[in-house]
Structure 1
């Protein structure tokens, strides 16, 4: 044994309460929701999603019928309502019971939760708020013009389960040092910017997939709220510029498990057939998920560390955690420190804009 008067660091682990972040969460691709009810186990409960036959809109309700507890996802859609498979009670899109076939009067308590939904960018999102407030207008995710342009492929979606708390994924926004050991990325510049409900990571570096010749890849990862994150990556493949949008949006199952809805769409290569473009997206998705598996193995085997020993080369881990805490705090108690505008440079180097200009020059 080596004698030392230095005390070992004791890791502190926060016990997260049964509370889930306020904000928009991706449930599925929008076109995956039909008039056949679909069940999802999230936010410590079960919800059911379906598309109305009359309005063609998606509706999300609590899945358990308050009458006798049946699972409404096993029922059927009638008009815009959902009919329970047990006793045929009908529940409107607003969560209010609108018919009981064998009763003269509908109980005033016959109401279930109707979740606010948003169909945008080819995705279906649900709004969670532990205080029961309606969605905050300025926190609606921005429109991705590329999705609607016809110049990009559709999302190729996969789902990845993680046995930990959602914060583990959000930590990656500041954790510059893991990109080398885990993702074999040689970081040339790395910075963060936060303001209000948004947090952004800017990175330039070498990458196995999106690096060719002397031009590195660029990456802009952007959170709009606690769970909706999109990343735009550019690089060179076979001396051609390649642009990719990634969706890395998590949704909590419980305080100890979450799912990542992982999507990829790629700008179509001119002169290449539709089928070849689809094959490229499929291959890129496969390679990206293989790279992502390295994160998953670490997340599934590490513990939550609420007082990490950080060094001067680490990114602003405590800053992103302070920003993230606003979504678990009652709106009246959110402090300015959680939302004020800040910037942090971890590695100074070529900017995303400079690298993109170099990439286009190289391709010309």
Structure 2
């Protein structure tokens, strides 16, 4: 028997929080749909605590540079694309995607040290990624974002993409990977199975759930959602691919959901969501496009529910957990690998870890809550 002193059990637990690191995560970050940067104009992107310029040269490659010209500080994002270079609006110094100054029209030669910061980029599945590394190293081959089934297939819908700025540190969104209970209370879902797997640079959440009976309603086409199955994996610190199947009466809707973000600074990040859905006999192309649009709005509403919590909550480094909470501390240990030098990544940050929550108690409690809600609603209608 373990005897705990009364003074210890009655002690008030203090919230502990360290200063938010001003270092930004090493890894691939998605800036959004690649097509949005292919209009022949330079684009401003505020990320990683600085201003960047994104532009597509005549060769078709999208480039990302520090936005401020190393000559006299002109803003390249206000400049002009000329060939494969971005020309500064101040003195027309022309910078290539590799960060080297290629031409100074009024000068006989370009200074040997005329270089600026350039970010490695990758265009894949109609999305634009950039690689951030505080050590300035190139991306290793084994952390490449996997290709997404359906993203380039005619048998799937086009991306439905949304973007919003969130006024908090991006660690808040990462905690959702292990937080089963918030799906019921915030998103009105009903998880019945929940498991996490961390390994290497990936963190996976496997969740099965059913539609809450107290809020279930057929859609405009008469389709009633019964539940969903989700296998969601973060590939690195910011890009999650969710193989998400919605179960309806008589058919399944197969979709891929993207949940991604990049930091603006320590206290703000851009949150993206994207979804594509597969055509089927029950959902031909036009019907699938309509449903994908509705799902996009539904998912965006879910993110807004998270945002409303994040903007009012406290940052907490020592959360007090119960048995049915997920492995928050293990997740944060995994997440730390992206904020230290590659040589300082410890085995406990990347070793395989599995944790399945016993959902017996939550399911019992939530079933009763839904039944009580239905009973109160019936009484109100009588």
What's the counterpart of residue 276 of structure 1? 287
Q: Tell me what 1:157 maps to.
A: 161
**Using the alignment, how far apart are the partners of 2:81 and 2:211 within structure 1?**
48
Q: Is it true that 1:168 corresponds to 2:172 in the alignment?
A: yes
Match of 1:57 among 61, 75, 89: 61
Instruction: Give the aligned partner of residue 67 of structure 1.
Output: 71
- What is the aligned residue count? 345
Residue 131 of structure 1 corresponds to 135
* Structure 1 residue 105, shift from structure 2 partner: 2.8
Matches within 5 A, 1:117-266: 117-207=121-211, 216-266=227-277
Unaligned runs of 5+ in 1: 350-364
The CA deviation string for residues 312-347 of structure 1, in whole angstroms up to 9 with x for no partner, is: 110001111000000001111110000001111113
Give, in angstroms, the shift of residue 164 of structure 1.
1.1
What are the Cα deviations for residues 63-122 of structure 1, in whole angstroms up to 9, with x where unaligned? 111111111111111111111111100001111111111122322221111110011121
Q: Is the 8 A contact 2:324 2:359 kept in 1?
A: no
Alpha-carbon shift at residue 213 of structure 1 (Å) = 7.2
Give the gaps of 5 or more residues in structure 2. Answer: 1-5, 361-382
CA RMSD of aligned residues (A): 1.9
- Take 2:225 and 2:300, find their aligned partners in 1: how far apart are those partners? 25
The alpha-carbon deviation at position 193 of structure 1 amounts to 0.6
Match of 1:332 among 343, 346, 350: 343
Preserved CA contact (<8 Å) 2:226 2:249: no
Q: Distance in 2 between matches of 1:155 and 1:240?
A: 22
| 107 and 213 in structure 1: CA distance in 2 versus 1, 3 angstrom threshold | closer
> What is the CA–CA distance in structure 1 between the aligned matches of 2:217 and 2:271, rounded to whole Å?
22
Counterpart residue number, 1:290: 301
Give the TM-score normalised by structure 2: 0.86
1:273/1:233 CA distance change after superposition, 3 Å: closer
SS of the residue 2:348 aligns to: helix
1:15 aligns with 2:19: yes
Q: Specify the alignment match of 1:43 in structure 2.
A: 48
* Alignment match of 1:88 (pick from 84, 92, 105): 92
Distance 1:213 1:237, change over 3 A: closer
Q: 1:210: Cα distance to partner?
A: 11
Q: Using a 3 Å threshold, how does the CA distance of structure 1 residues 280 and 96 change in structure 2: closer, same or farther?
A: same
- In the aligned structure 1, how far is the partner of 2:113 from the partner of 2:48? 23
